[in-house]
Amino acid sequence: MSGTTALLTPASASAAARNTFTIRRLDDAPLGAEITGLDLSRPLAEKELARIRSALVEHGVLVFREQRISPEQHIAFSRRFGPLQVHVLNRFHLQHHPEILIVSNVIENGQPIGLVDAGADWHSDLSYMPKPSLGSLLHSQELPAEQGDTQFANMFAAYDSLPADVKQTLEGRRAVHSYVYRYRRLQKLSPWRADLTQQQIDAVPEVDHPVIRIHPESGRKALFVSEGFTSHILGLPQDESDALLKFLHEHSVQAGNVYRHRWRAHDMVFWDNRSTMHYAPITPQHLRRTLYRTTVEGDVPL
């Protein structure tokens, strides 16, 4: 009625409070946004999830501060975005929670408690799967006082800034992504990578995906190759493929296209594997670093 003041009921006040979290683009970064005022330990409303998903597509990397959540809450939040993918290295699953991969340089009783070199080269998580990951959610557990940063590259911008003749060369091309290819290279760098069992090898056969990927939610084009998992481009001689992949990698990770995330206690970082790559050098063993990761299944790349 005209001239009256609407009163907030407890239910409407609660609903209003849910949408007060802030999404702020990271200063002087080519991608990424920080989300504050949101508690991931509670179930989120669909409107909140829609805002988060839209921000993920727009910014590529989302940083949620001060998330004191349990593994169960981590998994529950991740599942709101799609089915979760279980990593083939079951040795490093969190006990009772196979959806969580432990990323850690900590050694206990002479054995690593997690995947020491998970980020040892630039890659997009699980690009070697028929349905690569939509996104990964990494929650900090124990952080060193120095080092331990994770870097992210904007693959939309990497594609957009390619020379026209390179774009033409790549149009319609497909590239092979292989978990075994990366695993065997990293075995030479890390003493902690035991040989894969035949069952593990059979679980991750090679796949091929478009070199230029169309993002299913934004329609934008992104490069979808990495030094980590991409072994070669189909239809090219090996030397030409190697040279082109080397060029694409160096082009993608130029300083102006990379955001370096300096972890804070209880950070949750959610990144879009369809439009970003990431890299985290192996942290020296005396600087203890442990994080928990889930990965959300995506779509067959277009």
Would you say the C-alpha torsion 157, 160, 161, 166 has a positive or negative sign? positive
**Selected catalytic residue, list 53, 59, 123, 261:** 123
Is there a contact between 45 and 18 (Cβ–Cβ < 8 Å)? yes
Q: Tell me 78's DSSP state.
A: H
Question: Which of 125, 193, 213, 272 does the annotation list as catalytic?
Answer: 125
Residue whose C-alpha is closest to residue 89's, from 78, 100, 79? 100
Whether residue 173 lies in the annotated active site: no
- Tell me if 152 sits within 8 A of 61, measured CB to CB: yes
59 carries an active-site annotation: no
* DSSP letter string, 199-214: HHHHHS--EEEESEEE
Strand partners, 34: 24, 63
Question: 239: buried, middle or exposed (CB in 10 Å: 19+, 13-18, 0-12)?
Answer: exposed
Tell me 145's DSSP state. Answer: S
278 is catalytic: yes
For 143-281, strand residue ranges (E) read 150-154, 174-177, 207-210, 212-214, 221-223, 230-233, 258-261, 268-272, 276-279
Catalytic residue among 74, 215, 249, 293, which? Answer: 293
Q: Given 139, 182, 213, 278, which residue is catalytic?
A: 278
Q: Report the catalytic residues.
A: 123, 125, 278, 293
